[in-house]
Amino acid sequence: MLLTLFESHTHFFLSMFQKMILTKIISNTLSLHKKQLIEWLPAVRYFSSPTNPLVNVDVNDKSGIAVVTMNRKPVNGLSLELFEAMSKALDDLENNRIRGAILTSSCPTVFSAGLDLNELYQPDKKRFKAFWTTFQDVWLKLYGSSFPTAAAINGHAPAGGCFLAISCEYRVMCPDYKIGLNETRLGIIAPIFLRASMRNTVSNREAEKALTLGTLYSTEDALKIGLIDEIAIYKVKAIERCENFLAQFNNVSSIARSFTKRSLRQKDLEELENCREEDFNIFWSNLIEPSVQKQIGDYMQSLKKK
């Protein structure tokens, strides 16, 4: 109660100095360790991210909500550089204690086409290792973020695109697009952390069906199975609906919310934390199989011939 009041009334006005004093007073009063208390304090400093051409972060000073826009034309293929930019943006958001984040895309009809197939085809081991490790980092930071997250899916979201959306806590999608985890259709085995996000979103039975069949769902069918939460007619509306979802947390203690989220997702996060190297080794050895390489190469050709 004390904390909720404290958060709602001080959100915009505290200076860093006041925050230090308050930290001292409250930590003395409640006999809390300073690090624990800092987690409770509201955001007081908003920022605009230094421009990165691949990821734009726009924080609304009033709501404290950040819109994170992926901007790698033509289809937001998830390359090492895009993952690095996302990883950095997620660190900045965490450090600046924003109220929530909305992930979206600047491509008019594609949220993200998933992993950049050029990273998977005839890969160089050193680069692929950096790529895979950064992919893992992005998932750990997005799925485990202390702030609430939502995805405004303004276009197709196959494979890695769907994976980013389901790592968020809420999804609003525009009509007439496709979303799903189609990895098995490409001869690729969904990695451990991707399976965790899917199980956390739809029922275990739907997750099993969707992953083994590699189904790409229409927006309407995705809503039916709970893969998305709402449909919005176009991107601006999708962002608005995500903002409405995030605004609901204004009346909830941020410490209670973030601890609860963390405890629900902890097992999945630890599962990957404990086997990052093994996860890489499994994927690397599968990826360089000649049959898998041929399948990826043929698939890339088929996309170009369209």
Ligand X SMILES: CCCCC/C=C\C/C=C/C/C=C/C(=O)SCCNC(=O)CCNC(=O)[C@H](O)C(C)(C)COP(=O)(O)OP(=O)(O)OC[C@H]1O[C@@H](n2cnc3c(N)ncnc32)[C@H](O)[C@@H]1OP(=O)(O)O
On whether the CB atoms of residues 166 and 197 are closer than 8 A, the answer is yes
Choose the binding region for ligand X from 56-64, 115-123, 195-203, 204-212 (rule: CB under 6 A).
115-123
Report the SS3 class of residue 72.
coil
Q: Is 169 a residue of the active site?
A: no
Residue from 18, 48, 109, 260 that binds ligand X (CB under 6 A)? 109
The active-site residue, picked from 142, 183, 186, 214, is: 183
Strands 100-105 and 157-158: unpaired
Residue from 15, 18, 118, 212 that binds ligand X (CB under 6 A)? 118
Choose the binding region for ligand X from 46-54, 111-119, 198-206, 250-258 (rule: CB under 6 A).
111-119
Residue from 110, 168, 179, 272 that binds ligand X (CB under 6 A)? 110
The active-site residue, picked from 78, 115, 181, 216, is: 115
The active-site residue, picked from 160, 161, 180, 214, is: 160
Q: Where are the alpha helices (DSSP H) in the chain?
A: 2-10, 16-30, 34-40, 80-95, 117-120, 125-143, 160-167, 192-199, 204-213, 219-225, 235-247, 254-273, 276-287, 290-305
Q: Which of 111, 132, 230 is closest to 180 using CA atoms?
A: 111
* CA pair distance 227, 225, nearest whole angstrom: 6
Binding mask 221-260 for ligand X (x = CB under 6 A): ----------------------------------------
Q: Is 182 a residue of the active site?
A: yes
Give yes or no for residue 102 binding ligand X (CB under 6 A).
no
On whether the CB atoms of residues 80 and 87 are closer than 8 A, the answer is no
Of 269-288, binders to ligand X (CB under 6 A) are 283, 286-287
